[in-house]
């Protein structure tokens, strides 16, 4: 537990030492240092850290080591993930190497995504930690690889100048992501929101969608089930009344509604001062890609809220949020930067920092062991 708090407060202290967002070079250095630290902690953890890693993935890797290619695809997981295991096993039978390679990929890709898109890399890193996405990446390893592969696809989708090529590449990479976790099929629908506007009247509509997602959870679950998420029957995740409603699930619903409201108030209701498609950091600096529209980011966070609300009744729906989660890391810093009143900006910013820090400490001490299996932390050499 201590190592997670040291990482959080250490990186926030480092972030507070100077403004890391004034130049691209500073952004690059902070992002590299921060995500190198987070990746290193994940790489050095033992197979006991991460509930699914301990109960499924580590044992499966050891089985794959001794299997031939003909029998590889009988283990019940997506083929891409099994191939990932088999390729590693061709060079080493050490399960720790598998853990390290996985951590380096998923955390590295997330850091790369934040570097390319965030207006405040310090806050985005903070959100990656305090939303417990870091914890989940050490647990839901197949889906983490699928999510990060989808992020690569979405970065290609931004390249509107590639015309038809971006459609082909996007579809191909999403199909690849489905080979790690079949739930990545949802990524085929994400580009739709790139064409939708988000104006003031959409704020009221969004509130209605949130209410309907609670009232129509059964119909939503049946619709999602048509896609056969993964290779198992997920109907066992269907909760009886109140079973999935607890302090933790309600907190996550509330925090994403809060982030959505901050975004809508700042970017839509009062409107932002447009910075264009890119933000320049000086004549000798690179530029930050800004091709995700405000509307697209708001729809992505709305999708998180809908999945979280539906997840109050159907647990597995909460896992769908991880395909949209990285956009939270981009939306909130952008929304805060758009505040016209400096005092209001500071109040909202530091309130979010305080609230989410306290919540992360509370979650880590009370629930991280049962929800994610990341507490207590153990280095692999102590296992």
Does position 193 have pLDDT exceeding 50, yes or no? yes
Q: What is the pLDDT of residue 115?
A: 96
Domain range annotation of the chain = 189-276+284-338
Question: pTM of the prediction?
Answer: 0.90
What residues have CB less than 8 Å from 380, skipping those under 6 apart? 44, 45, 46, 47, 96, 99
Distances from the Cα of 112 to the Cα of 16, 97, 105, 166, 198, angstroms: 21, 22, 10, 20, 27
CA–CA distance, 353 with 142 (Å, rounded to integer)? 30
What three-state secondary structure class fits 288? strand
Mean of per-residue pLDDT scores for the chain: 88
pLDDT in tens, 119-178: 999 999 999 999 999 999 999 999 999 999 999 999 999 988 888 999 999 999 999 999
Half-sphere exposure (Cβ direction) of 260: Cα atoms closer than 13 Å: 26
CA–CA distance, 327 with 300 (Å, rounded to integer)? 7
């Amino acid at each position: 537990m201590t190592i997670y708090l040291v990482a959080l407060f250490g990186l926030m202290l480092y972030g507070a030492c100077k403004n890391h967002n004034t130049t691209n070079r500073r952004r690059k250095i902070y992002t590299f240092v921060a995500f190198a630290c987070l990746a290193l902690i994940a790489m050095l953890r033992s197979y006991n850290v991460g509930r699914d890693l301990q109960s499924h993935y580590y044992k499966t890797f050891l089985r794959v080591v001794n299997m031939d290619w003909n029998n590889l695809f009988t283990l019940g997981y997506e083929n891409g993930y099994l191939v990932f295991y088999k390729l590693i096993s061709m060079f080493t039978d050490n399960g720790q190497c598998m853990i390290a390679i996985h951590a380096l990929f998923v955390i590295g890709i997330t850091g790369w995504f934040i570097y390319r898109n965030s207006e405040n890399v310090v806050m985005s890193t903070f959100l990656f930690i305090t939303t417990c996405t870091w914890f989940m990446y050490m647990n839901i390893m197949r889906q983490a690889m699928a999510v990060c592969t989808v992020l690569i696809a979405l970065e290609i989708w931004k390249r509107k100048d590639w015309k038809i090529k971006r459609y082909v590449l996007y579809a191909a990479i999403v199909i690849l992501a489905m080979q790690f976790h079949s739930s990545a099929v949802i990524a085929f629908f994400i580009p739709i929101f790139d064409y939708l506007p988000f104006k003031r009247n959409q704020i009221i509509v969004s509130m209605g969608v949130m209410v309907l997602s609670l009232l129509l959870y059964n119909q939503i679950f049946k619709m999602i089930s048509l896609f056969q998420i993964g290779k198992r029957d997920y109907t066992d995740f269907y909760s009886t009344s109140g079973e999935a409603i607890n302090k933790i699930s309600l907190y996550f619903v509330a925090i994403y509604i809060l982030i959505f409201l901050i975004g809508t108030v700042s970017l839509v209701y009062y409107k932002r001062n447009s910075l264009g498609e890119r933000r320049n950091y000086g004549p000798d600096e690179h530029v930050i890609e800004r091709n995700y529209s405000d509307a697209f980011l708001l729809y992505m966070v709305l999708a998180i809220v809908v999945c979280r609300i539906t997840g109050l009744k159907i647990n597995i729906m909460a896992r769908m949020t991880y395909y949209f989660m990285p956009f939270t890391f981009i939306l909130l810093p952008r929304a805060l930067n758009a505040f016209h009143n400096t005092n209001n900006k500071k109040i909202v910013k530091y309130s979010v920092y305080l609230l989410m820090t306290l919540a992360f400490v509370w979650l880590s001490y009370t629930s991280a062991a049962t929800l994610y299996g990341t507490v207590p932390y153990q280095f692999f050499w102590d296992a």
